[in-house]
Amino acid sequence: MQAARVHEPGGRFRLDTIARPILLRPTDVLIDVKAAGLVPNLRNVMSNYGERAYLTVPDLPAIYGLDTAGVVAEVGSQVTGVVPGDRVYINPGRSCGSCHACRTGEPINCTAYTFQGYFGFGPESKRMYQQYPYGGFSEFATAPADGLVKLPDAITFEQAARFGYLGTAYSGLRKAGVAAGRTVLISGATGTLGLGAVQIARAMGATRILCVARNVDLLERVRALDPQRIRILSYGTQPLADWVRAETDGIGADAFVDAIGPGASHQITLDGIAGLRRGGRMVEIGAMSDPLPVNLHQLMCAQVSLVGSLWFSVAEGQELAAMAAAGTLDLTVFEHQRFGLHQVNEALSTAEKRAGGFVNVVVVQ
């Protein structure tokens, strides 16, 4: 088969011909890859080798590609419930299955937790890469059967290649307690992660969705999705917390989902926390990395919770697929920019332009 591989840290992808994967475990499946999403931060991840390493990355040459969708080609002898021909998304979260976290039903907290085709969180991730070395930038990939989200016909492979962002947003919204009758504040609402949070908050029944970003034109596009429930603010035009309270009859938001990425100022996050009501919840999903100086006494007295949310479970991915099939979650807003497997370098350059959440850069086969 063909695979786009990286041969040196931070290097360009090269299209190589390698052996087609075989199923090493009776519980694994082989996927004929149809689409894989591009993460704008991928080049930084591919540079994390040697002295620069701060994440665990696969050994070179490596096949990257985090969000993969395709058709089941083969199944292991012990696989049930999945058959050749099934359309699936590969949830790339891999865990060891036997550590304390895995045995207590929290695989995302596994000490070896690893994103297949992207990066891991500790030295034990090397073991995960050896078991599942194929990212989405290849014609075929293997995955455990219990790591698959079945896709209804209503979801295209290109839309499924956005599930990493959508699932992260959905899990964060669930942790924040977003539901019917609730008000949610979303920072970075025009970005790839934030726009997904907006659409899912709508599907979950949030009554008011307060969207904050800087790009006025993109904010207007977001508001047009649901003018009845969505309110927008270009950050810096007025105090964020005051605006939130004005939009919530002086109460404050029930939930605050922070979807801004590394490099943003912590002040945006602090302003969002200040806009929460008593008992409100803030969930971090954007990986804002600026140290956050919070007054814990104030948080205690107001019973405000700060939660980090890393990824999403297969079950949450299946719930997303069900919402899309039912029509409550609208995935048609995404504008797909398609590239072939031989064009991964061009695709990554396009993704790095960060044109906003409506654009979906995807490698198709």
Q: pTM of the predicted model, to two decimals? A: 0.96
Residues 6 or more apart from 158 whose CB is under 8 A from it? 35, 334, 336, 338, 360, 362, 364
One-letter amino acid identity for 275? G
Q: CA 228 → CA 99, 125, 329, distances in Å?
A: 47, 46, 17
Mind listing the pLDDT tens digit for each residue in 187-223? 999 999 999 999 999 999 999 999 999 999 999 999 9
Instruction: Identify the CATH homologous superfamily for domain 165-308.
Output: Medium-chain alcohol dehydrogenases, catalytic domain (3.90.180.10)
- Check whether 354 has a pLDDT greater than 80: yes
Please, what sign has the CA dihedral across residues 278, 279, 284, 290? positive
Q: What angle do CA 352, 117, 4 make, to 5 degrees?
A: 70
From the number of C-beta atoms within 10 Å of its C-beta (0-12, 13-18, 19+), residue 268 rates as buried
The confidence score (pLDDT) of residue 123 equals: 84
Residue 253: name the closest of 302, 315, 190 by CA: 302
Mind listing the pLDDT tens digit for each residue in 234-291? 999 999 999 999 999 999 999 999 999 888 899 999 999 999 999 999 999 998 889 9
User: What number is the average pLDDT over the span 110-138?
Assistant: 93
Place of tokens 């009859």: 249
Mind listing the pLDDT tens digit for each residue in 1-38? 999 999 998 889 999 999 999 998 999 999 999 999 99
Strand 183-187, strand 208-213: pairing: parallel
Looking at the DSSP bridge assignments, the partners of residue 15 are 4
The reply to whether 2-162+334-364 and 165-308 are identical in fold is: yes
The confidence score (pLDDT) of residue 53 equals: 60
- Check whether 52 has a pLDDT greater than 80: no
One-letter amino acid identity for 245? R
Q: Per DSSP, which regions of 245-312 are E strands? A: 253-258, 276-284, 305-308
Q: What angle do CA 167, 194, 317 make, to 5 degrees?
A: 10
Domains in the chain: boundaries: 2-162+334-364, 165-308
**CATH level 3 topology of 2-162+334-364:** Quinone Oxidoreductase; Chain A, domain 1 (3.90.180)
Looking at the DSSP bridge assignments, the partners of residue 115 are 93
The confidence score (pLDDT) of residue 47 equals: 85
Question: Rounded CA gap, 289 and 357, in Å?
Answer: 21
